[in-house]
Amino acid sequence: MVSSLLNAFRANHGVVCLVGAGGKKTTMYALAREHRGRVALSSTSHMYIYDEDEVDRVVQAEDGTFEDVQGKVVAFAGKTDTPSRVGGLSSAQIQRLWQAGNFDLFLVKADGARARWIKAPEFHEPVVPEYTDTVIPVVSVRVVGRRLDDGIAHRPERVADLMGISTKTAIEPEHLARLLTSPVGSLKGVGDAVVVPLINMVDDDVLYQSARTAALEALSQTVRFSRVVLACMKQCRIVEVVERDENLSHLGVDKG
């Protein structure tokens, strides 16, 4: 088992953006809980309201200014008229908060997925600030074996184009790998940030085998990232960190 979620995702410090679908917000909360310092949460897009059990305070942004608040985990939200949602912040707003020096880690949800397990970005997505240190592209392994449709995918037609398949086709691990390595898919807008993909919802041995196959295939297709995290983030559990050189000992991974 990995000794630290933060180490696995290279998310000990700085601005960390999460993109994709299949557990972004769950992962944000897990990273915030594990960090010993002060953590800020925000989004550059609309999102569901923050869980009061996971944050100490939610601060509403008004006219680009923010009150000075206390608390270990503080969420910043923009205005929106959409029910049960909070609005996102601009890159400039997030940068001002980060540069104030009051937080050790700033976690940002950089796109939306309408609670689906997989997605492809639209032309205006994701909104990843240029000063981002780490990007975590998220996909759910539960889509493997399922037919590609809007029940599991946000914008299934775009997902199909990126994967090189048609809608209604059953998704295979290699299709996940194509999405994770596509410059207009999971790698869109990441800039020079460190990239650590997450294949989430690895709940059993069958899903593990699919996730590991997808991870190895992705690592063989790109040099843009060197590791893929397989996890069940709902349980805050890392299943395996798959790296190109297969040398996992320095992360404390139990491969047995």
**pLDDT of res. 29:** 97
**56 vs 3, 40, 59, 73, CA distance in Å?**
25, 10, 10, 5
Half-sphere exposure in the Cβ direction for 39 (13 Å, CA): 22
**Cα–Cα distance, 181 to 218 (Å, whole number):** 6
Bridge partners for 238 per DSSP: 231
| CA dist 232 → 22, 82, 191, 194, 240 (Å) | 11, 30, 27, 22, 10
Q: What is the pLDDT of residue 250?
A: 36
CA quadruple 138, 34, 87, 84: dihedral sign: positive
What pLDDT is stored for residue 102 in this prediction?
A: 87
Token representation of residue 92:
């400039």
What domains lie within the chain, and their CATH numbers? 7-249 (3.40.50)
pLDDT of res. 79: 85
Q: What pLDDT is stored for residue 192 in this prediction?
A: 97
The tens place of each residue's pLDDT in the chain, 256 residues long, gives: 334 899 999 999 999 999 999 999 999 999 999 999 999 999 998 888 999 999 999 988 765 555 567 899 999 998 888 888 899 999 999 999 898 868 999 999 999 888 899 999 998 999 999 999 999 999 999 999 999 999 999 999 999 999 999 998 999 999 999 999 999 999 999 999 999 999 999 999 999 999 999 999 999 999 999 999 999 999 999 999 999 875 443 343 433 3
Could you give the CA distance from residue 157 to residue 76 in angstroms, rounded to a whole number? Answer: 33
- Contact assessment for residue 168 and residue 201, using Cβ atoms and an 8 Å cutoff: no
